């Protein structure tokens, strides 16, 4: 997720963000880590469904050492983000926890286990 180089339109992670919002915050063409570094706090709202958890461990693994320099808050969401209205979602309070070294280690182990050719590595996570 580095800055756009040869990726066609709609394949870059920022393609789903409205262009005026990107311009407003100076995020045009930035990679994920570069964009996060410009923010005081980054919140990851993750649902509890298995695929969301897989995305979370991949994302934390991707951020790796850089995550230590970013102020990242993880919010476990027990509602469907895609199916909950914005007004209702804005009124809900989801507990947050700051990402620690422990989270990064567990995420790395989980991602390595997921990518392993056999399921034995999952037993160590």
CB 48 within 8 A of CB 78: yes
φ/ψ (deg, to 5) at 65: -60, -30
Measuring CA to CA, which residue among 18, 95, 32 is closest to residue 67?
32
Distance CA 37, CA 54 (A): 23
**Enclosing H/E stretch for 111:** helix 101-115
Domain that holds residue 70: 40-124
68 vs 72 pLDDT, higher one: 72
Are 49 and 61 found together in one domain?
Answer: yes
Count of structural domains within the chain: 2
Are 33 and 68 found together in one domain?
Answer: no
Are 49 and 107 found together in one domain?
Answer: yes
Q: What is the mean pLDDT of residues 67-80?
A: 84
> What's the pTM?
0.73
Are 102 and 55 found together in one domain?
Answer: yes
Measuring CA to CA, which residue among 113, 115, 48, 107 is closest to residue 123?
113
| Length of the chain counted residue by residue | 125
82 vs 3 pLDDT, higher one: 82
């Amino acid at each position: 997720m580095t800055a756009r180089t040869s990726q066609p339109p709609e394949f870059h992670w920022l393609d789903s963000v409205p262009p005026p919002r990107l311009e407003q915050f100076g995020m045009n063409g930035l990679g994920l880590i570069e964009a996060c570094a410009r923010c005081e706090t980054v919140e990851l709202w993750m649902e509890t469904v298995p695929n969301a958890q897989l995305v979370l461990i991949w994302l934390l693994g991707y951020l790796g050492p850089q995550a230590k320099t970013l102020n990242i808050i993880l919010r476990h969401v027990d509602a469907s983000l895609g199916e909950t209205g914005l007004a209702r979602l804005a009124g809900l309070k989801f507990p947050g926890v700051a990402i620690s070294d422990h989270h990064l280690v567990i995420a790395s182990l989980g991602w390595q286990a997921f990518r392993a050719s056999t399921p034995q590595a999952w037993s160590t996570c």
